Amino acid sequence: MQSVHTAEAVARAGEALADFIRREQRLWIITGAGVSTDSGIPDYRNAQGQWKRSPPVQHGDFMTSEAVRRRYWARALVGFEAVREATIGGAHRALAELEAMGYVEQLVTQNVDRLHQRAGSRRVIDLHGRADTVSCTSCGYKMMRYALHAEMARYNPAFTGLDAGHAPDGDADLEIDFSTFRVLDCRRCGGIFKPDVVYYGDVVPRARREAALEGLFRANAALAVGTSLMVFSGYRFFREAHARGMPLASLSLGVTRADPLLTAKWRAPLTPVLEQAVSHLKQTRGAA
């Protein structure tokens, strides 16, 4: 399907999405980076599902290489401001409205920015964790990420105030000599601090994965919003839903890994289509 951007095409897509939601009633929704781009947080992939920049840090590299951790934390001092300062977008608000109207059985997000919760969504599972807290990988000591950043900034004044473009999930497009950057380890046991996110090469905790699956089993249909589903941790749910014969739909600007499985697909801008869908649903409820 070709991308649609005209006002008429967006209106048609919104009405079709509203029809899908009205027909299925209880949706399992999975969201990705496209939902938060209007909030100023860059996404990873282009419309063809390919990387826009170098792939993000790998879990094994972060845990075994101090050089990787130096680079990661130095770049985060610059890039994480995009996450901290991000404001709720129209897509977040529209999805929260759908939940308030009773159409969302479960919302699973691959994002780590917590913007769904700030918008008012309550039935949220942060599949890949959250970026605003860090934990010691040895003893489990937890602290807010902004506090750790503040400490690292005091120890590394030469790395504060640098100018670089923002990258996904609090990273920055910064390439300098990181060898002098001092990484702070756990104050209790000396273990490695790591953001509470699932890095590439890591696995989603079993309890979180099972909770998302239980939500899927309670729903009548699945909808992907702003995600290519290229990462298996998200795609696996659509594969399971397809095996169970559930209707599957996608709203995104590009291709998805699940395209061959979809019942319906709208390749269109997220926020206006979601807002149109919510408006249609409200109108038909009022007319009933």
- Is 242 known as a binding-site position? no
Can you give the residue range of the structural domain that contains 269?
A: 7-287
- Is 186 known as a binding-site position? yes
The number of domains in the chain is: 1
Identify whether 134 is part of a domain: yes
Query: Could you report the per-residue pLDDT of 87-112, keeping only the tens digit for each?
Result: 999 999 999 999 999 999 999 999 99
Q: Determine if the pTM surpasses 0.85.
A: yes
Does 2 have pLDDT greater than 50? no
Does 154 have pLDDT greater than 70? yes
- Please give the residue that has the higher pLDDT: either 63 or 165: 63
How many CB atoms lie under 10 A from the CB of residue 147?
A: 11
Does 191 have pLDDT greater than 80? yes
Identify whether 1 is part of a domain: no
Of the listed 128, 149, 166, 280, which one is catalytic? 128
Does 279 have pLDDT greater than 80? yes
Task: Give the C-alpha separation, 111 to 129, whole Å.
Answer: 8
Identify whether 118 is part of a domain: yes
Query: Could you report the per-residue pLDDT of 230-255, keeping only the tens digit for each?
Result: 999 999 999 999 999 999 999 999 99
Does 141 have pLDDT greater than 50? yes
DSSP secondary structure string for all residues of 58-93: BHHHHHH-HHHHHHHHHHHHHHTHHHHT----HHHH
Identify whether 85 is part of a domain: yes
Identify whether 72 is part of a domain: yes
Query: Could you report the per-residue pLDDT of 107-137, keeping only the tens digit for each?
Result: 999 999 999 999 999 999 999 999 999 999 9
In the annotation, is 128 catalytic?
A: yes
Q: 157, 232, 203, 199: which is closest to 64 by C-alpha? A: 199
Identify whether 210 is part of a domain: yes
CATH number, domain with residue 276: 3.40.50.1220
Identify whether 74 is part of a domain: yes
Alpha-carbon distance values, 131 to 81, 145, 164 (Å): 12, 8, 20
By CB atoms closer than 10 A (0-12, 13-18, 19+), residue 122 is exposed
Identify whether 18 is part of a domain: yes
- Is 136 known as a binding-site position? yes
